[in-house]
Structures are given as C-alpha cells and as structure tokens.
Amino acid sequence: MQRRDRQLGLLYAAPLTLFLVLSFLAPILLVAGFSTMPAKVFDLAHMPDFSAYGEFLRQGYWKSVAWSLGMALVATLILFVICWPLAYGMAKVFKRFTLVLTIGVVMTLFVSENIRLFGWVLTLMKGGLIEGYMRHWFGTGFDGLLYNVPSIVFGLVYVYLPFMLFPLAQGIAMVPDDARQAAYDLGATRWQILREIELPLAAPGILVGSLLCFVLSAGAIAESKLLGGQAVIVIADEVETAFTYGQNWPLGAALAMVLIAIVGGLAIWGIGRADLDRMIGRKG
Amino acid sequence: MSDTTPILRINALTKTFNEFTALHAIDLKVHDGEFLAIVGPSGSGKTTLIRLLVGMDEPSDGSIWLRDQRIDEMPANKRPTCMVFQSLALFPHMTVGQNIEFPLKLRKVAPEDRKARALELLDLLRLPQDYYSKRIDQCSGGERQRVALARALAFDPEILFFDEPLSALDYRLRKALEKELKDLHARTGKTFIYITHSLEEAMVMSDRIAIMRAGRFEQIAPAEEIYARPVSRFVAEFMGEVNLFPIRAGQAEGVTLSPAAASAFGGATGTLMVRPESLQFLEGEEHAELTFAGRIEAEYMLGSRVQYTVTLEGGQTLIAEVLRENAMPGGPGTPVRLGCAAAACHLIAEA
Ligand SMILES: Nc1ncnc2c1ncn2[C@@H]1O[C@H](COP(=O)(O)OP(=O)(O)OP(=O)(O)O)[C@@H](O)[C@H]1O
Ligand SMILES: [Mg+2]
C-alpha cells in the first residue's frame, strides 16, 4: 500500500518536476554554458574557456559581490531585529489587528517595487520632501539623504520587509505557549526565554525569512540604482552592464554563475536544516 | 497535622475575568510535606487557582503567603514553586537530559553537576540512564510524564503543583503512575498540590482533599471524612453514586424509619445520604432501622458486586450494591425490600 502510494505520488509529481527542471535548471545550464564561451565568439559549441572567471578576480568584480553580500547581510540582520517584535505581535498579541497589519503589508506588494522606491527618492533627495521642508522651516538645507550605502540598505529593508515578517510570524506561532510559560515557571528571565525557547523553536521561520531576504537582497539591483546612485556597484548591476553595454556575455554569465553558486549553496544548506514539515503544520 | 506555620496560606483570594468571578474569596492552608488534592468539576476554577499560586496570573484580590513571605506580587520566575502542566510542556527541541537540566542551567550550575543531578533524577523516576540523550518525541506518554516530573524536581521547588498531569494517559498507566506519584511524594518529602477532576485519583494519592465548586471550596478534609461525612449534596454526589432523600422533621419520604432510627435523627431537617453498598436485601417481614420497599428496575454486574436500580413505592429511585453471594434472584420486576443501619447513613444539613 505504502509502496503504491509512493509510486502514485511520484507519478503525480512528474509533470511539475519536469516543468521545474525545464524552467529552472535549463536556464542555469545555459548561463553556465555561456560563461565558458571564449569572449566575442558567440558559439556554444567550443572548447570550454574559463577566462571569464579569471576576469572576475582580476578586474575586482569580487568587490561588487562583497558589497552585495555585505549589504544583504546587514539588511537581513536589520530586518530580523525590526520584524521580530512585529511578528511576535502578529502571532501572539494583536489578534484581530493582525489581519489589518497583514493586509497593509501585502497591499504594498501590489505597487511595483520601482514606483515605491521612486517615492523614497522624492522623499529623500535634495529638494525632496524631507530636505525641502527642512529648508523651508529652518532656512538651511543639507545634501539630501540619497546616494550612499545606508540609503541602499534602507531600500532593501523597506522592500523585503514582508519576506521576513510573514515567515517569522509563522515561526513564532510554532512556539507553544505552554513551553514559554513552563520556562518562565522554571525561573527563566524574559531574555533566557527568548534565547533558550523562542529562538530555537522559531528557527525554521527565522531561517526561511532570513534566506528569502538575503537571497533577494544579494541579487537586488533597483535599490542600489535608484537610492544608491553610484555610491557602490552591486553585482547584479555588473551582470546587467556586462550583458548590455559591455556586450561581454561570457563575463556576465560568469558573474551570474558566481552569485548563483554562493546564494544557491546557502539556500540549499539552509533549507536542508529547516524542518519545513513542521512549518506547514504536518507534524509536531 | 502540626500547628507550625503552614507552608502555603491563601487569604480571601479572588479572581475575576471581566464580569465573571472564577474564584470567590477562598481561604486555604497547606502544611509542609502534605499531599493536597484539589478536586472539582470542569470550570470550577482549579486551573485558575493554580495559575495564581505559581504566579502565571495575578489575583484580583486577596493574598498568598509562602511561610512568612507574601508572594502574590512575585513573578512566576522568582517564586520557589513549580508546576507540572496538563500538557507537560516539555521542550521539544531539547533532549530528555536537557529538559531535566533546564532549571539548573538557568541557575548556572556547572555542566558536570547538572548531568550528575539529571542522571540521579532519571534514577529516582525509574527511567533508564540512556534516556539522558533521547529526544522527547521518542518517549512514550508515561515516559514524558516522568521527564516532566524530573524537570520539576530538578528545580527543587518548595511546593510542586500538578494540573491534571495524568488525564491524557490510558487507564492502566494512569493507575500505575498514581501510585508512583504517591511513592515519590513520600520519598521526596515535598509539598504536592494536585489538581484533578477524578475523585478516585485524589483518594488514592492525597492526605487531604479540597472539593471545589464554582470558585469556592465546598469541603476540605481527609478522604475518609469526605467519604463518610460530606457537608453538602454536591460533595456527596461528587463522591460517586449515592442515594439522597430529603428529610423533614425526622421524616423522609420513601423510607420507613424504625422508632430507634427516628429518634436518632431527632426530628432533623436536611438530606439523608444512603450509600448503595450499605444496603442489604431483607427477607420476609424482617425490618431494619431504615427500610425501603420497591421493585427491581435493572441489575448490573460489577465484577464481585451486583448493582441494582430499584423503583420505590413512592416513585423514587434507589441504587443498591451487594456482594455477588447476596444477590437477589428474580431479575427486573421482582418486588424487594432493602434495609440499612442508621449508623451507616449520614445526615447532610443542607436540604
Ligand atoms: N483567561 C480567562 N478569561 C475568561 N474566563 C476564564 C479565563 N480563564 C478561565 N476562565 C473561566 O474561569 C472558569 C474556571 O476555569 P478553570 O480553567 O480554572 O477551570 P478548571 O476547574 O481548571 O476546569 P477543567 O477541569 O476543565 O480544567 C471557567 O468558567 C473559565 O471559563
Ligand atoms: Mg483546568
């Protein structure tokens, strides 16, 4: 019986599996193929040539990767710190208000990311909402708040907030109230409950939220372009440039492969550790 | 019980939820080393009381004293009391050992000492030593029960509270654990306060029983006393199947009293309690101090005993339980007379 269930399961999963392989794996293989193409040849049938990867090291593209990963890490940490209390409230305290908050956060996703970021540009730029009013009221202005690293991180935090908030709320909802109360009864302080009970039991939610935010932030481009100007060049920007202005497809593909390898490796490692079954409530 | 200061004293403790009063100014004294069971039907306020005692909730009024110290303002994590939850509330992400060591870890006890204590407790609770590194979800219900107990004992509380910890277990395991718990109480010498809605469970384990009803204590006394002399109809009925007859000016409808019995009750008004097992079938014209006449309605085998439902001539129902060898042949419809001694009955003042 169990064997048959298994076989049937595999059969049902087959079309989707095929689709995923074609739509997910195939492009990656294609990019991998391009990345080993000799420069300016445009031919997939050739001897593999890894000079594009050498370029990555020589030309200092690793700096862009470092910036991307660094800012993604900082944004993820900030998001975690901001979202934990909010998610805690959603899962445990707000009750009816949770729905309002959910709708509010989800609604922002209905407006394109670029438009929302432009909103911030208008707010933060010199002569924009903040600086303009400051000058109007106090007579002196300043340089505007745009075009630096913190404003990029701010943009990342702003755009990816829902991706941290909801998994985290889900994770916190998995912490049984009685475990929290038992720890308190056994003498744990608020802080010890957080460290010993809540963080470990909410770990799957934390992991999923952090992975989503980190992966999305690491590949983000709009925040750095719109809010960061030329402050730093992120890796996604380099990839775009290589494919468009640079017309150097192997380089663009190689850069993309590096990013995919780092982010993909991280995601696989993370998901391997998260107990997703428990998260969707199939056990425990 | 001695006259020394009680380990726990509750004065006029009240708890209200919005409009609803869950506890009505209750008083209680618990002696050091005692096993007190709090029994009551669902919704009578047992959990509410225990939550106030361990500090998980704040009383609306009244005070709680631990020896000479007032503790009702003290948060739960500072109180030297500990509770075994109905759900056990074991930490699923920790091993058995880590669960037991948790309170010690909070107190910064060195890891070797923690482990030594945990192993000791495993021993005390008759769990094999290799359970130390087992995961909680690999333990059976009874084993989890023991782990929860070990964790609470590791905390070394002044008073250990239990909120129906056995209610989720099957009958046989529950019976075994009841005895073990009583045994554990004797060996540790700690004060146990145990909530249950099963009077049977309370009888097996406790020194004293407090019967709770709608946010008040109806009676607090040793088991024998509650069994023999319940103070109210509620307690009498809670103790199991009993026959209750209203008695007015020494006369009870449906019961024929001998002159001796009539004078024994001395024109009392209240409720007469007759236990099913105090009744005997009477032969011929024989009379007892209390005599009942009626017809057998139904009979049930209860192993060594037989239980009868008898409809009395006045229409009331009487339940009687006799040993199998004293059973009445004939079955339903048979007219019967039953009797019992006045001393075996109890007069409840409440009508
Ligand atoms: N947080 C609360 N808010 C409102 N009412 C409550 C709350 N907690 C308990 N009550 C009410 O107080 C009464 C006593 O509840 P409690 O949980 O103490 O009963 P219990 O004796 O433990 O019952 P059970 O045997 O079912 O566990 C119930 O009527 C319950 O509805
Ligand atoms: Mg309860």
Q: How many domains, chain B?
A: 2
The answer to whether residue B351 neighbours chain A at the CB level (below 8 Å) is no
Please report which confidence band the pLDDT of residue B13 belongs to, taking 50, 70 and 90 as the band edges: very high
Considering the domain boundaries, does residue B24 fall inside one? yes
B218: domain range? 8-230
Give the residue, A140 or A67, on which the prediction is more confident.
A67
What pLDDT score does B121 carry? 93
* CB of residue B15 inside a 6 A radius of ligand 1: no
Quickly tell me which residue has 């726990």 as its tokens. B8
B218 and B253 inside one domain? no
pTM confidence score: 0.81
Considering the domain boundaries, does residue B253 fall inside one? yes
Mutate which of B15, B47, B54, B216 for ligand 1? The one with the most ligand atoms within 8 Å of its CB, which is B47
Three-state SS for chain A is CHHHHHHHHHHHHHHHHHHHHHHHHHHHHHHHHHHCCCCCCCCCCCCCCCHHHHHHHHCCHHHHHHHHHHHHHHHHHHHHHHHHHHHHHHHHHCCCHHHHHHHHHHHHCCCCHHHHHHHHHHHHCCCCHHHHHHHHHHCCCCCCCCCCHHHHHHHHHHHHHHHHHHHHHHHHHCCCHHHHHHHHHCCCCHHHHHHHHHHHHCHHHHHHHHHHHHHHHHCCCHHHHHCCCCCCCCHHHHHHHHHCCCCCHHHHHHHHHHHHHHHHHHHHHHHHHCCHHHHCCCCC
Domain boundary among B187, B204, B230: B230
Please report which confidence band the pLDDT of residue B92 belongs to, taking 50, 70 and 90 as the band edges: very high
Antiparallel, parallel or unpaired: β B243-248 and B35-39: unpaired
B275 and B213 inside one domain? no
B73 and B174 inside one domain? yes
Ligand 1 atom 26, closest CA: B42
* Lookup: tokens for B340: 């019992």
B315 and B206 inside one domain? no
Nearest CA in chain B to A181: B56
Dist CA A176 CA A180 (whole Å) = 7
pLDDT one-digit tens code per residue, B149-186: 999 999 999 999 999 888 878 888 888 889 889 999 99
Considering the domain boundaries, does residue B202 fall inside one? yes
CATH number of residue B95's parent domain: 3.40.50.300
Q: Could you tell me if B267 and B326 are in contact, meaning their C-beta atoms sit under 8 angstroms apart? A: no
CA of B176 to the centre of ligand 1 (A): 29
Contact between B93 and A200 using a beta-carbon 8 Å cutoff: yes
What pLDDT score does B266 carry? 74
* Lookup: tokens for B346: 């109890």
C-alpha dist (Å) from residue B273 to B33, B222, B264, B311: 33, 19, 14, 17
* A160 burial level (CB within 10 Å; 0-12, 13-18, 19+): buried
Domain boundary among B177, B211, B230: B230
* Lookup: tokens for B193: 């306060």
User: What is the mean pLDDT of the segment spanning B185-202?
Assistant: 91
Considering the domain boundaries, does residue B279 fall inside one? yes
B247 and B225 inside one domain? no
B21 and B133 inside one domain? yes
Q: How far is CA B236 from its chain centroid?
A: 13
The total number of residues shown for chain B amounts to 351
3-state secondary structure of B293: strand
B280 and B143 inside one domain? no
Considering the domain boundaries, does residue B236 fall inside one? no
Q: How many CB atoms lie within 10 A of CB B239?
A: 21
What pLDDT score does A129 carry? 80
The answer to whether residue B82 neighbours chain A at the CB level (below 8 Å) is yes
* A33 burial level (CB within 10 Å; 0-12, 13-18, 19+): middle
Dist CA A185 CA B84 (whole Å) = 10
B179 and B297 inside one domain? no
Domain boundary among B230, B249, B264: B230
Dist CA B203 CA B224 (whole Å) = 9
**Which candidate from A176, A186, A201 shows the least CB-CB separation from B106?**
A186
What pLDDT score does B1 carry? 47
Please report which confidence band the pLDDT of residue A246 belongs to, taking 50, 70 and 90 as the band edges: confident
What pLDDT score does A112 carry? 85
Question: Smallest Cα–Cα separation from B320: which of B258, B252, B243?
Answer: B243
Dist CA A158 CA B218 (whole Å) = 60
Nearest CA in chain B to A176: B89
Dist CA A127 CA A143 (whole Å) = 9
Dist CA B309 CA B336 (whole Å) = 11
User: What is the mean pLDDT of the segment spanning A111-132?
Assistant: 83
Average pLDDT, chain B: 90
Q: Could you tell me if A204 and A122 are in contact, meaning their C-beta atoms sit under 8 angstroms apart? A: no
What pLDDT score does A45 carry? 66
pLDDT one-digit tens code per residue, B226-270: 988 899 999 988 878 889 988 887 777 888 888 888 877 777 788
Q: Could you tell me if B30 and B7 are in contact, meaning their C-beta atoms sit under 8 angstroms apart? A: yes
* CB of residue B43 inside a 6 A radius of ligand 1: yes
User: What is the mean pLDDT of the segment spanning B73-81?
Assistant: 91
B26 and B86 inside one domain? yes
pLDDT one-digit tens code per residue, B97-133: 999 999 999 999 999 999 999 999 999 888 999 999 9
Position A279 pLDDT exceeds 60: no
* DSSP secondary structure letters along B150-212: HHHHHH--SEEEEESTTTTS-HHHHHHHHHHHHHHHHHH--EEEEEES-HHHHHHH-SEEEEE
Average pLDDT, chain A: 86
Q: B75 CB contacts (<8 Å, ≥6 apart)? A: A184, B55
Dist CA A28 CA B90 (whole Å) = 46
Considering the domain boundaries, does residue B235 fall inside one? no
User: What is the mean pLDDT of the segment spanning B264-279?
Assistant: 85
B206 and B254 inside one domain? no
Considering the domain boundaries, does residue B194 fall inside one? yes
Q: Could you tell me if B188 and B156 are in contact, meaning their C-beta atoms sit under 8 angstroms apart? A: no
Q: Could you tell me if A153 and A228 are in contact, meaning their C-beta atoms sit under 8 angstroms apart? A: no
Question: Smallest Cα–Cα separation from B183: which of B132, B101, B248, B124?
Answer: B124
What pLDDT score does A284 carry? 41
Is the ipTM of this structure higher than 0.90? no
Angle, nearest 10°, between helix axes A235-243 and A249-273? Answer: 140
CATH number of residue B315's parent domain: 2.40.50.100
* Lookup: tokens for B267: 């024109």
Q: What percent of chain B has pLDDT over 90?
A: 58
The total number of residues shown for chain A amounts to 284
Q: How many CB atoms lie within 10 A of CB A18?
A: 10
Dist CA B247 CA A89 (whole Å) = 60
B85 and B186 inside one domain? yes
B 86-105 → A contacts, CB under 8 A = 87, 89-93, 102-103, 105
B79 and B207 inside one domain? yes
Q: Could you tell me if B92 and A180 are in contact, meaning their C-beta atoms sit under 8 angstroms apart? A: no
Contact between A200 and B76 using a beta-carbon 8 Å cutoff: no
DSSP class of residue B118 equals H
What pLDDT score does B34 carry? 94
* CB of residue B197 inside a 6 A radius of ligand 1: yes
pLDDT one-digit tens code per residue, B133-147: 999 989 998 899 999
Q: Could you tell me if A124 and A144 are in contact, meaning their C-beta atoms sit under 8 angstroms apart? A: yes
Q: B106 CB contacts (<8 Å, ≥6 apart)? A: A186, A187, A188, A192
Q: Which domains does chain A have, with CATH numbers?
A: 53-279 (1.10.3720.10)
Q: A169 CB contacts (<8 Å, ≥6 apart)? A: A86, A87, A88, A90, A91, A205
Considering the domain boundaries, does residue B325 fall inside one? yes
